[in-house]
Structure 1
Amino acid sequence: MRDNRVRAALERGEAVIGTMVAEMRSPAVALLFAHAGFDFVFIDMEHGAYDLETVADIIKVARLADIVPLVRVPDGLYHLIARVLDAGAMGVMVPRVETREVVEQAVAALRYPPVGVRGCSTSRGNSDYRGGPLWEFTRHANDNILAVMQIERKAAIDRIDDLLSVPGVDVALIGPADLTLSLGAPSPQDPIVEEAIQRVVDAGRRYGVATGIHLRDVEQLKRWRDRGMTMLTCSTDIDFILNGARAAVSALRR
């Protein structure tokens, strides 16, 4: 049974750094980002074109490479959450949360009884196919699975105390683009967006929930880290490929 070092670091108040994959289908992408030094990788099933088999393959390599595999599911429904956890995901991000009921249902789906409703299958990718004693296995999973709620709607900001006070929420992660659209702001740097994000950081402190954000701009990530965020999600597989290629071509054209 693998300990979730990202969850442990967040519980200690330490910053962790990760990225998101949405296009590269080779499981080697997890190994590449592990070699780069990232702590975690989100596998995107909301906007990415992945099927479950591809996701499961990336998860397997990530676990072996010691980079924590997390999955952004398309929605907070039980069958979407349970299957990626059985495949070995060490946490799930639920997008577009707006109500306490949705958060409660998602958290319950992430955890085994007595604290949740997750069905048990121990000899899967979630145990590296080793299985284990039932109660020891389920207790360990409950203590290590990371529950990430993505805050990206005005309704979520308005109800942020209701959402983050749900027992079992580990992280509130900002989706700045969708939040900007929901607030009707001209850009993610607009003061109305910054104020909304700060409300999430402040609520996280009140309820002992780590906060984070997904951004391309490293300097903006560092700025939010300095303001208290600890789950720093940097760019995507496509951005890293495109930016590296552009930089090389630009240098060679000069």
Structure 2
Amino acid sequence: MNGADLKAKTRAGGIVYGTMLSAARNPRWATTIAGLGLDYVIIDSEHAPRGRSEIADLLSGLTSVDVVPIVRVPIPSSHYITMALDAGAQGILAPYCETPDEVREVVGATKWRPLKGELVRRVVEQGEFPSDASREYLERRNRNS
């Protein structure tokens, strides 16, 4: 299963099963998790001290056994979100989005990357893309992920 399959299954009213990894550090957990029949795993980096390489190893391990990896970032920041997505996360769980600005930052980083700065602000706030080609590409990518 991948992120697009997980999204389609939930939109169709299907049931998906998952868990959260808080203490596990070894990417070999992926094979054990695959044997449980889980659809997704949330890798916690809010309450667990995880570095980029550890998150990347866990993402790679879970993806290799067809379990959708989702990363819970420490704070709603585009910095952490883009690092997780670049490493292979197929979803993001952003804790404590308490202001409209935080929500816009999370949406911009997850849905409209690789746009940054003023370009992503215009897309999120006004729906104004740099070009028709970039809009088509980003909308297609979001449909398929």
TM range (shorter): 0.7 to 0.9
SS at match of 1:4: helix
Question: Quick check: 1:100 aligned with 2:100?
Answer: yes
Residue 10 of structure 1 and its aligned partner are, at CA, apart by 1.4
Q: What whole-Å deviation, never above 9, does each CA across 1:205-229 have from its counterpart, x for those lacking one?
A: xxxxxxxxxxxxxxxxxxxxxxxxx
Distance across 2 between alignment mates of 1:137 and 1:27: 33
Q: Greater strand share, 1 or 2? A: 1
Equivalent residue letter for 2:60: K
- Shift in CA distance, 91/15, structure 1 to aligned 2, threshold 3 Å: same
1:207-218 correspondence to structure 2 within 5 Å: none
Aligned residues: 126
- Shift in CA distance, 31/3, structure 1 to aligned 2, threshold 3 Å: same
Question: Quick check: 1:119 aligned with 2:114?
Answer: yes
Which residue in 2 is equivalent to 1:12?
12
Equivalent residue letter for 1:84: A
**RMSD over equivalenced CA pairs, Å:** 2.2
1:195-210 correspondence to structure 2 within 5 Å: none
Distance across 1 between alignment mates of 2:37 and 2:66: 10
Distance across 1 between alignment mates of 2:137 and 2:62: 20
Equivalent residue letter for 1:45: S
Question: Quick check: 1:91 aligned with 2:111?
Answer: no
TM-score normalized by structure 2? 0.77
1:1-254 correspondence to structure 2 within 5 Å: 4-111=4-111, 116=112, 118-119=113-114, 138-139=138-139, 141-145=141-145
Q: Note the residue ranges of structure 1 that are not aligned, 5 or more in a row.
A: 121-133, 146-254
Q: What whole-Å deviation, never above 9, does each CA across 1:60-83 have from its counterpart, x for those lacking one?
A: 111110000000000111110001
- Partners of 1:76 and 1:94 within 8 A in 2: yes
Q: What whole-Å deviation, never above 9, does each CA across 1:179-203 have from its counterpart, x for those lacking one?
A: xxxxxxxxxxxxxxxxxxxxxxxxx
Distance across 2 between alignment mates of 1:7 and 1:79: 24
- Partners of 2:3 and 2:91 within 8 A in 1: no
Q: Note the residue ranges of structure 2 that are not aligned, 5 or more in a row.
A: 116-133
TM-score normalized by structure 1? 0.45
Residue 86 of structure 1 and its aligned partner are, at CA, apart by 0.8
- Partners of 2:3 and 2:90 within 8 A in 1: no
